[in-house]
Amino acid sequence: MWRADSYDAPQGVGESLETTPWWSGDLAHQVSVGDSEATPVNGAAQAWETWRDQIRSLGGPSPLIHFQDRNENRIDLSRGHPGGLARFLAGSPTLLVNLIRDDMARKPAHKAAGRLVNHALELLQNRGLDTMALGIGLVEWKHDGVDYCGPLLMRPVRLRRRGKDFELTLRKSRVRLNPGVQRAFAQQLQVTLDPEAFVALTDDEGAFKPNPALDRLRDLTAHRGDVTVAARLVISSFAELVDPMLDDAHDLEHNVLDALGSNTTAVATLRTSRVPVEVSHPDRRSADTDRFIADANPEQDAIVANIQAGNSLVVQTPPGTGATQVVVNALGGLIANHKRVLIVTPRPASAHAIKERLAESGLRGAAVEVANPGKDIIASIGRNEKAKKPTLRDVDAALERLRKVILRYREALSEKNHELGVSALDCFSALGRLSLSAKPPETTARLDKEALVSLAGGLGQAAELLAKAAELGEFKYGPDDSPWYGVSFTSLEDARKSQERAKRLSIDLIPKLLERIEPILAQTPLPQAKTVGQIGMFLHLLMDIRDTLDRFQPTVFDRSLRDLIRATAPGDDAKDMPRIQRRRLKALAKEHVRPGVHVGDLHEWLIKIQAQRDMWNRFVETGHQPSVPGGLGDLQALFQQSETDIAELDRVLGRSALNARLADMPTGDLVDLLAKLSQESEILHGLEQRQEIADLLAQWRLQPLVEDLATRHVDGSGVANELAMAWWRGALETILDKEEGLLGSDTEILQRLEADFRLVDEAHAAGNGQLSGWQLAERWSLGLMDWPEEAQALKKMLQNGTATVQSLNSFAPHLTKALAPVWVASPYDVHHLPHTLRFDAVFVLDAAALRVGETLGALRRAPQVVAFGDPVAQTPRPFTLGMRVEDPAGVVDRDEAHDESLFAALRELVPTMKLEHSYRSSGDDLARVVSDAFYGGQGQHVPWAGSFLGHPALALDVIEDGQGMPDPITGIVEGVDAEVRQTVSHVIDHALLRPTESLMVLTASAIHASKVHDALGLAVGAKPEIADFFTKDSREPFLVVTLDQAGALTRDRVIFSLGYGRTPHGRVLSDLGPLSQPGGERLLAVAFTRARRHLRVLSCVSIEDLRDERLSATTRALGDVLHKVDNPPLAKVSGREQDPLLVDLAKRLDVLGMNVELDYQGHIPLAASYGGYCIALDTDTSLMPFSVREALRLRPAALAKSGWHYVRAHSLELFTAPDAVALRIATLVGLGDTAGATSHDNPEGSHTFRTKPSAPVTHAE
């Protein structure tokens, strides 16, 4: 049988469970020194102790045995109201006012509750520690001169604000013995306490009665006079970390830990073990290997590829840059390869985001929480039972097919034509620039293929020739201006003679010819001649008839001579005619000959006469005999001279074609033309130079363009652009006609292809998660068959609620591996994992907020370590588990603390990769300030449409009357009344106007936070209609927290109220609390990165005062950042040349009344707005750098998420139908009818659109 966790080979009996820690035999540092008596010493041993000391310092003095029993630190319910106490102990939510009804007693309890809520919130959000508990019975004792105090029994409690009061709820978890007291009694007093026995003593037939347990302890310690047991009920923060974490850190021999501890061998091993990774481009990745379960951009893709290759990494993750996507995709690949992963993060929000994203991808329950595995295991089983194998073959095939066509289209757009050396995109750009010039070229000339190819490398030379030709007047006259246009002369003499002929014809010959032919023809029935050609024809006819009548009788024209022609034909031509008839017809033919005239060849003469007769009858009505007028001889000579000159002019003018000759022109037109030809013309001046250039232009095959330029009389300044227009248009037509990848220039086909790709790609992405889920379901199904006994044990644990990470891996290890390929833990929960539980990789999230010592338990459990973190806003800081009156941390240098973080330590050993693209839909002004002030201006973000509309995402309010009295002890001015009032006012406004958006108030001062809380309680009490905003259960409830507490929190909108003010005399104190401490800039980064949409800064101190050189550098840093808030940095100018097609479109949109900006924020090629609608337009050129998936699906989705209406315009439609694109955009924003009318009224558009970023908007919302 194949085992569910080992698909590569069958597994033998006894190999299914590991009983030895996996690291015991496969470590590079375990070497022999060659001496059996020598003990190898690991070079990291000193670091181990340093890290253990870090663990010992975690959480401060343990509240389990060092509880400070003071009013400030606990809520004492020992004398609570019986009714409220009964309700509370029954597990019902109970208000503090109902538990402690005495006003004097409730006041300190109320104050303590506020401190407890803040403390619990900080531990939960930043550490994942839920420490609030009811302490039952207080035990005090002394050992070695040290006083100890702690509760005997504990039960978890939920404590939260409810308006002006606090609500307490006793959770359903079992009562448990204080493990700290149990351990201390055993070690110090040699008294063993049985946890189960003490818990059992509290159960009186289902009722909770703690007194028997307290009495039992009194009995056990009766022999000691220094142990007291008091019957008390106190609510405070009770938890332990140090002892279990130290127990878990017993064996630290591990290659990564050794390298962190400066073991040179381990460092070398870690660095040389890196596997080279070649990240394939998404467009070249086959669909069956493209199995990301979440969308990813290229930088995320590279990180995931390195993780899946087994490389240890450090990943820098500024807020909103998609760290969750990276983790989820990496998990998907590792799960598919049967790997097990441990995710460690101190922040529940990070763990929740990963689990939620896995669930969205179809892997609900695949990540199991160490602290509470039962719920996730049940979800995993449910998912497995419902899983179905997805059918992805057709989807994948369609994806690859569509992607191939789209990629071919892209290549065809940018591919250089091998003959012309340009691409279609080059043509669009060049033609667009030409159309935007001051005087756009208008030529319609078409150049042939040979001309286009020859000009590909010689446009400049040809343009110079055209300019020279224009200078010589070549284009001053066109075909309609002078009949000499385009005439080619061999020499100046040829031109002179041609013009003399034209003059002779115009002045002398043609007028005489027309004058004399008219009376001659009038004597005949022939019509008047319409052309010189007809004159010649009539002359020739009359001359021939005259010759005929000299030899034949006029009767020869009476009838057809065809029978006589046959009869007189020689040889066999007349053999088909009877001999008798032939002799008769021959005699008849001879009768037509005049007496005494000898005709040599009668047959030939008859043929000529028949032709003459036919010609005569063609022009003369039947019945008129041919006649010959006088004066034909002189007219014939005149005609011959005219005919000779006309023929020569035909040659010069290139009129040799039939019906194009001068002789074929109507006589009136001919006279006019000859008159023009005979006139003096500038076109004949400079003939030789023009002829030379004309010959060269003819070699370039530019005659169509030359003729067009001459027709339009283009001057020399415009011929270069006209040539460019003709060439680029011809090049584009050639490319579009030849390149099949351009799909016949049909944009509708392109739009359908891209729409189909989006649908198919979405199906493919969804199918990847389904496929991973089905693979896990298969492993689960095989496991049920392989290990039925484990299935029974698992079922029992889940039914009775006893499933823990230890029990699951003890009684159902193989099924647990199939159900839980990923475990999620806080660094303070890792010790619950069995030592034998093997992981292939550990992901440490928020690693910049953790010291190495806090992560020892996680790092030693896997050979591969990937640390994610933000070194700017995250830094390790001390914390206390229990409530303390004093501040055990004191002044913390956050820069030094960062150097102790796992992130900082590990980045010295392994490669660091960065995520720089933010997916937050925050305003551009906020994003730029954050990027510029804290991340070196390297961050990238998707512009927010609201910013384009002028809505600020960042506001600064300087409070004028922000004075207050200094604290008599600290001398600091905190919690100024005016700032408290303004903060509360903004909070109330938010609750009234934006109740669906989450809100948080941040402050650097704990005193200010407390005052804001109190003032809000009063304000909300006066407005019951908004109470629900503050009291309802929500994933992101309203909070007022300090910067130290806010590191793991984000909200839609944040109010950062500084909390410090000026003295009554207006003086600014240099101490701004934590912001003035070393590394305070990191807290500023926290303040400015907590808001997803909007940040409002309130300050009683002006920017100028905060930038005073007398203040400390950390204090001035606040002033510098606020200066950026008041003067947001301008968006970076991309420096790219603007697409002329978009420039043209922008003009058209501007005419329609839309606000237009090109290259907006360097991210959107064309942004436009009207009436609250924002348009983001992409073109072929702007999408070229992106993969097909990112260009067609991910980028449009990201822009839509940021409030934009996305428009995709292809270069071809921008070139051929810009009005249609403009109308499409106008329709989207509700300008359809107006656009249609305007496009007809103003086809050229306006030139008043913006091409640079607008001025910064004001701070008014």
pLDDT digits (tens, 9 = 90+) for 1072-1098: 888 888 888 899 999 999 999 999 999
97 in Cβ contact with 194 (< 8 Å) = no
CA-nearest of 848, 844, 840, 799 to 824 is 844
Whether 1243 shows a pLDDT value over 50: the answer reads no
CB-side exposure of 650: number of CA atoms within 13 Å?
19
**Do β-strands 367-369 and 1173-1178 pair in parallel, antiparallel, or remain unpaired?**
unpaired
Residue 850 per-residue DSSP state = S
Residues 6+ positions from 58 with CB-CB distance below 8 Å: 241, 242, 245, 828, 853, 854, 879
pLDDT at residue 18, rounded to an integer: 41
> Taking residues 183-188, what's their average pLDDT?
94
pLDDT at residue 30, rounded to an integer: 47
pLDDT at residue 823, rounded to an integer: 97
DSSP 365-399: TSEEESSSHHHHHHHHHHHHHH------HHHHHHH
> Mean pLDDT highest for which of 338-342, 460-464, 497-501?
338-342
User: What number of residues does the chain have?
Assistant: 1261
Distance from C-alpha of 466 to C-alpha of 706, rounded to nearest angstrom = 8
* Most distant CA atoms of the chain, gap in Å: 184
Options 3.90.1520.10, 3.40.50.300, 3.40.50.410, 3.10.20.30; CATH of 953-1126: 3.40.50.300
Whether 690 shows a pLDDT value over 80: the answer reads no
Residues 6+ positions from 669 with CB-CB distance below 8 Å: none
Whether 768 shows a pLDDT value over 90: the answer reads yes
Bridge partner list, 843: 343, 866
Whether 364 shows a pLDDT value over 90: the answer reads yes
Distance from C-alpha of 324 to C-alpha of 919, rounded to nearest angstrom = 11
Q: What are phi and psi of 484, to 5 degrees?
A: -80, -5
> Taking residues 434-449, what's their average pLDDT?
89
- The residue ranges of every structural domain in the chain are 57-240, 249-396+754-883+892-914, 418-486+685-747, 492-684, 953-1126, 1140-1229
Least confident piece of the model among 862-871, 1006-1015, 1228-1237 = 1228-1237
**pLDDT band at residue 376 under the 50/70/90 scheme:** very high
> Taking residues 379-393, what's their average pLDDT?
93
> Taking residues 517-544, what's their average pLDDT?
83
Whether 614 shows a pLDDT value over 90: the answer reads no
Whether 655 shows a pLDDT value over 50: the answer reads yes
1154 in Cβ contact with 1222 (< 8 Å) = no
> Taking residues 853-872, what's their average pLDDT?
95
Q: What are phi and psi of 572, to 5 degrees?
A: -80, 0
Which residue bears the tokens 């020869």? 556
Distance from C-alpha of 15 to C-alpha of 786, rounded to nearest angstrom = 14
pLDDT at residue 38, rounded to an integer: 47
Predicted confidence (pLDDT) per residue in 194-203, tens digit:
999 999 999 8
> Taking residues 695-722, what's their average pLDDT?
84
Distance from C-alpha of 864 to C-alpha of 492, rounded to nearest angstrom = 92
Predicted confidence (pLDDT) per residue in 117-138, tens digit:
989 988 999 999 999 999 999 9
Q: What does R_g of the chain's alpha carbons equal in angstroms? A: 50
**pLDDT band at residue 513 under the 50/70/90 scheme:** confident
Reported CATH class of domain 249-396+754-883+892-914: alpha beta
Q: Which two tokens stand for residue 994?
A: 């934006």
| Amino acid at position 1241, single letter | D
Give the CA angle between residues 337, 342, 345 to the nearest 5°: 140
Dihedral of the alpha carbons of 889, 895, 897, 898, in degrees to the nearest 10 = 140
pLDDT at residue 6, rounded to an integer: 37
pLDDT at residue 83, rounded to an integer: 92
Bridge partner list, 869: 316
Helix, strand, coil tally for the chain in percent (to 5): 50, 10, 35
Q: Which residue has the higher pLDDT, 196 or 10?
A: 196
- CA 594 to each of CA 297, 590, 1097: distance values in angstroms, whole numbers, following the listed order: 110, 9, 130
Residues 6+ positions from 12 with CB-CB distance below 8 Å: none
DSSP 712-735: HT--TTTHHHHHHHHHHHHHHHHH
168 in Cβ contact with 198 (< 8 Å) = no
Q: Is 180 helix (H, G, I), strand (E, B) or coil?
A: helix
**pLDDT band at residue 487 under the 50/70/90 scheme:** low
Residues 6+ positions from 846 with CB-CB distance below 8 Å: 345, 346, 347, 350, 868, 869, 870, 874, 1048
pLDDT at residue 689, rounded to an integer: 62
267 in Cβ contact with 909 (< 8 Å) = yes
**pLDDT band at residue 523 under the 50/70/90 scheme:** confident
Strand ranges (DSSP E) for 1049-1141? Answer: 1051-1057, 1091-1099
Which residue bears the tokens 């199904």? 781
Distance from C-alpha of 256 to C-alpha of 267, rounded to nearest angstrom = 8
Which residue bears the tokens 């060049």? 430
> Taking residues 1167-1175, what's their average pLDDT?
94
CB-side exposure of 164: number of CA atoms within 13 Å?
13
822 in Cβ contact with 328 (< 8 Å) = no
Predicted confidence (pLDDT) per residue in 809-851, tens digit:
999 999 999 999 999 999 999 999 998 898 999 999 999 999 9
Predicted confidence (pLDDT) per residue in 972-1024, tens digit:
889 999 999 999 999 999 999 999 999 999 999 999 998 998 899 889 888 88
362 in Cβ contact with 769 (< 8 Å) = yes
Q: What are phi and psi of 366, to 5 degrees?
A: -70, -30
Residues 6+ positions from 452 with CB-CB distance below 8 Å: 419, 420, 727, 730, 731, 734
122 in Cβ contact with 1039 (< 8 Å) = no
CA-nearest of 524, 458, 972 to 724 is 458
pLDDT at residue 809, rounded to an integer: 93
**pLDDT band at residue 512 under the 50/70/90 scheme:** confident
**Is-same-fold flag (249-396+754-883+892-914; 953-1126)?**
yes
Which residue bears the tokens 């403390």? 119
The two counts, helices (H) then strands (E), for the chain are 51, 27
Dihedral of the alpha carbons of 619, 624, 630, 636, in degrees to the nearest 10 = 20
Whether 101 shows a pLDDT value over 60: the answer reads yes
Q: Determine how many CB atoms are found less than 10 A away from the CB of residue 394.
A: 10
Whether 1206 shows a pLDDT value over 90: the answer reads yes
**What is the H or E stretch that residue 767 is in?**
helix 747-786
Whether 905 shows a pLDDT value over 70: the answer reads yes
Alpha-carbon torsion (858, 859, 862, 865), positive or negative: positive
Bridge partner list, 1051: 1091
**Do β-strands 367-369 and 822-825 pair in parallel, antiparallel, or remain unpaired?**
parallel
pLDDT at residue 710, rounded to an integer: 78
Whether 23 shows a pLDDT value over 70: the answer reads no
- Tell me the CA end-to-end span of the chain in Å, nearest whole number: 68
Residues 6+ positions from 173 with CB-CB distance below 8 Å: 155, 156
Give the CA angle between residues 1244, 1250, 1252 to the nearest 5°: 145
853 in Cβ contact with 54 (< 8 Å) = yes
Architecture of domain 1140-1229: 3-Layer(aba) Sandwich (3.40)
pTM of this structure: 0.82
> Taking residues 1111-1119, what's their average pLDDT?
86
Distance from C-alpha of 942 to C-alpha of 948, rounded to nearest angstrom = 12
Residues 6+ positions from 651 with CB-CB distance below 8 Å: none
> Taking residues 1184-1210, what's their average pLDDT?
94
Strand ranges (DSSP E) for 3-121? Answer: 75-76, 94-95
Q: Which residue has the higher pLDDT, 228 or 469?
A: 228
> Taking residues 423-440, what's their average pLDDT?
90
**pLDDT band at residue 895 under the 50/70/90 scheme:** confident
Q: Which two tokens stand for residue 454?
A: 């020859």
pLDDT at residue 1240, rounded to an integer: 47
Whether 102 shows a pLDDT value over 50: the answer reads yes
Long-range contacts of 828-831 (CB under 8 A, 24+ apart): 828/58, 828/127, 828/128, 828/129, 828/241, 828/245, 828/346, 828/854, 829/128, 829/370, 829/371, 830/245, 830/248, 830/342, 830/344, 830/370, 830/857, 830/858, 830/861, 831/244, 831/245, 831/247, 831/248, 831/857
pLDDT at residue 292, rounded to an integer: 92
Q: What is the mean pLDDT of the chain?
A: 86
Whether 599 shows a pLDDT value over 90: the answer reads no
